[in-house]
Amino acid sequence: MNVQAYLAFDGNCQEALNFYSDIFNGKIINKQTYKDSKIDVPLSFREKLQHAELKGKGIHIMAYDAAPDTPINHGNQIHMSVDLNSQDEAEHVFETLSENGKIHHDFREREWGYFGRCTDEFGINWMVNSNK
């Protein structure tokens, strides 16, 4: 069994996946736009991503631009969790994710190691951990 995240975006999926691919050294694969789809979306939305994946060592995220008739409601029901073995690498990932977003818990030492929680500029919640 494999359980993975499928992220929904409000028209900026490509930009978000580019951002994440730089941070996590992943490749964007299986890109499909609405262009050749039989789904009824406005002409201005045809180049948006109907499906894409970010895949790399230790990461596999699926994502899409939600069609205009599917409103995106930003909430806190889900967080992406990243576990790293290096405190320096974890701190760098956290700083990059939170740079234009919002920090909820500063990245600092906790009982179990180092941890920080933030929401990135695309509205995605992240928890970043590293071992002591």
- Model pLDDT, residue 55: 97
pLDDT in tens, 32-61: 999 978 788 888 889 999 999 999 999 999
- Model pLDDT, residue 108: 96
pLDDT in tens, 70-114: 888 877 778 999 999 999 999 999 999 999 999 999 999 998 899
Q: Which DSSP string do the residues of the chain spell out, in sequence order?
A: -----EEEESS-HHHHHHHHHHHHT-EEEEEEESTT--S---GGGTTSEEEEEEEETTEEEEEEEPPTTS-----SS--EEEEES-HHHHHHHHHHHHTTSEEEEEEEE-SSSEEEEEE-TTS-EEEEEE--
- Model pLDDT, residue 131: 85
pLDDT at 129 over 80: yes
User: How far is it, in rounded angstroms, from Cα 83 to Cα 58?
Assistant: 10
| Model confidence, pTM | 0.88
pLDDT at 132 over 80: no
- Model pLDDT, residue 1: 67
What are the C-alpha distances in Å from 31 to residues 55, 64, 67, 115? Answer: 12, 9, 16, 33
Domains (range + CATH), the chain = 6-65 (3.10.180.10), 80-130 (3.10.180.10)
13 in Cβ contact with 53 (< 8 Å): no
In terms of pLDDT, which residue wins out, 36 or 22? 22
Q: Supply the DSSP symbol for 15.
A: H
pLDDT at 127 over 80: yes
